[in-house]
């Protein structure tokens, strides 16, 4: 009579031999997904691109990967896009238009008045300063105008140009 521990060991050996035979004969092939065989899906790109439309992409791709196939217009603004974000099925990516900067040396009263924190009185002061000094030589010079301090300048500096 065979002992219980010997019986278990014998069964284990038989299972291992059986598995080895199955693998060596090619009867079992584990599924290996190669990178080029990953699932594909579609995403849409619109906004400031010349080739708007639907693109077929693979799972695991990021917005940055997709941007290699997109032709951006000069007016495209990528500052609000998370380029490391993974693409998902039916995703819509909108490329924003870069905001035009307002020339403080040429802007009208109405245009200056449209800037955040700049009212009609300050807009007039900007125009008067501009006329009296032959225009602004730097953006920071705008802080010389009465009513525009560091905080107000910081609020509008990304919206203005010379």
Element (H, E) at 94: strand 92-97
Residue 7 pLDDT more than 80?
Answer: no
Pick from 10-14, 40-44, 95-99, 130-134: least confident: 10-14
Under a CB-based contact definition with an 8 Å cutoff, are residues 104 and 153 in contact? no
Please state the pTM of the whole predicted model: 0.50
Under a CB-based contact definition with an 8 Å cutoff, are residues 101 and 159 in contact? yes
d(CA 121, CA 108): 13
Same structural domain for residues 88 and 112? no
pLDDT band at 31 (very low <50, low <70, confident <90, very high): low
What total number of domains does the chain contain? 3
If you ran DSSP here, which 8-state letter would residue 157 be given?
Answer: G
Task: Identify the domain boundary among 76, 97, 118.
Answer: 97
Q: What tens digit of pLDDT does each residue of 72-128 get?
A: 998 899 988 999 999 999 999 999 988 888 899 999 999 999 888 899 999 999 999
Same structural domain for residues 25 and 41? no
pLDDT band at 10 (very low <50, low <70, confident <90, very high): confident
Domain membership of residue 72 as a residue range: 35-97
Q: What tens digit of pLDDT does each residue of 116-155 get?
A: 889 999 999 999 999 999 999 999 999 999 989 999 999 8
Same structural domain for residues 136 and 155? yes
């Amino acid at each position: 009579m065979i002992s219980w521990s010997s019986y278990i060991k014998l069964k284990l050996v038989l299972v291992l031999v059986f598995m080895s035979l199955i693998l060596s004969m090619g009867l079992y092939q584990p599924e290996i997904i190669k990178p080029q065989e990953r699932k594909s899906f579609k995403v849409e790109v619109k906004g400031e691109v010349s080739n708007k439309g639907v693109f077929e992409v693979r799972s695991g791709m990021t917005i940055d990967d997709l941007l290699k196939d997109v032709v951006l217009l000069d007016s495209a603004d990528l500052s609000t896009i998370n380029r490391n974000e993974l693409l998902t099925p039916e995703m819509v990516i909108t490329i924003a238009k870069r905001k035009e900067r307002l020339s403080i040396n040429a802007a009208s009263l109405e245009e200056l008045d449209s800037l955040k924190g700049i009212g009609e009185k300050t807009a007039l002061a900007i125009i008067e300063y501009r006329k009296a000094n032959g225009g602004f030589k730097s953006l920071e010079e705008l802080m010389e105008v009465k009513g525009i301090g560091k905080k107000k300048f910081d609020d509008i500096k990304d919206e203005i140009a010379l």
